[in-house]
Amino acid sequence: MASDLDRVLDRIDGDIDAALERLFSVLRIKSVSTDPAFAKECAACAAWHVEDLKSIGFEAMAHATPGHPIVVGHDRSTSGKSVLFYGHYDVQPTDPLNLWDHDPFEPFIETRKDGTKAIRGRGSSDDKGQVMTFVEACRAWKAVTGRLPVGITVLLEGEEETGGVNLPPFLASHADELRADVGLICDTNMWDARTPAIQTMLRGLCNDEVTIRAADRDLHSGFYGNAAANPNAVLVRILASLRDETGRVTLPGFYEGVPELPEALKADWQKLPFDEKAFLGAVGLSEPAGEKGRSVLEMVWSRPTCEITGIGGGYQGEGFKTVIPSVASAKVSFRLVFDQDPETVRAAFRAHVQKLLPPDCEASFIKHGGSRAVRFPVDAPSFAKARAALAEEWGREAFFIGGGGSIPVTGLIKEKLGMDVVLAGFALEDDRIHSPNEKYELESFRRGIRSWARILDAFSR
Site residues for a copy of itself, 309-338, by CB under 8 A, read 309-325, 328-331, 333, 335
- # chain residues binding a copy of itself, by CB under 8 A: 99
Amino acid at 408: P
Shortest Cβ 65–a copy of itself spacing (Å): 16
Nearer to a copy of itself, 132 or 300 (CB): 300
Which positions from 75 to 94 touch a copy of itself by CB under 8 A, shown as an x/- string? -----------------xx-
The CA distance from 458 to 452, in Å, is 10
Nearer to a copy of itself, 136 or 431 (CB): 431
Q: In b/e form, how buried is each residue of 220-249, taking b as 16+ CB within 10 angstroms?
A: ebeeeeeebbbbbebbbebbeebbeeebbb
What count of other Cβ atoms lies within 10 Å of the Cβ of residue 171?
21
192 to each of 160, 269, 401, 426, how far by Cα in Å?
A: 25, 15, 12, 9
- Residue 257 in contact with a copy of itself, rule: CB under 8 A: no
Nearer to a copy of itself, 148 or 348 (CB): 348
| Of 432, 447, 450, 454, the one binding a copy of itself by CB under 8 A | 432
Shortest Cβ 265–a copy of itself spacing (Å): 18
> Binders of a copy of itself among 385-424, rule CB under 8 A?
403-406
> Binders of a copy of itself among 341-370, rule CB under 8 A?
358-360, 368-369
92 to each of 71, 438, 456, how far by Cα in Å?
A: 19, 10, 30
Nearer to a copy of itself, 49 or 213 (CB): 213
| Of 2, 3, 21, 36, the one binding a copy of itself by CB under 8 A | 36
**Secondary structure element (H or E) that encloses residue 345, with its range:** helix 342-356
The CA distance from 352 to 77, in Å, is 55
First to last CA, the chain: 19
Helices (H), 246-295: 263-271, 276-281
> Binders of a copy of itself among 275-314, rule CB under 8 A?
279-280, 283-291, 296, 299-300, 303-305, 307-314
Which positions from 201 to 240 touch a copy of itself by CB under 8 A, shown as an x/- string? --x-x-x-x----xxxxxxxxxxxxxxxxx-xx-xxx-xx
Shortest Cβ 32–a copy of itself spacing (Å): 9
12 to each of 274, 442, 443, how far by Cα in Å?
A: 33, 13, 12
The CA distance from 31 to 26, in Å, is 9
> Binders of a copy of itself among 139-178, rule CB under 8 A?
161-163
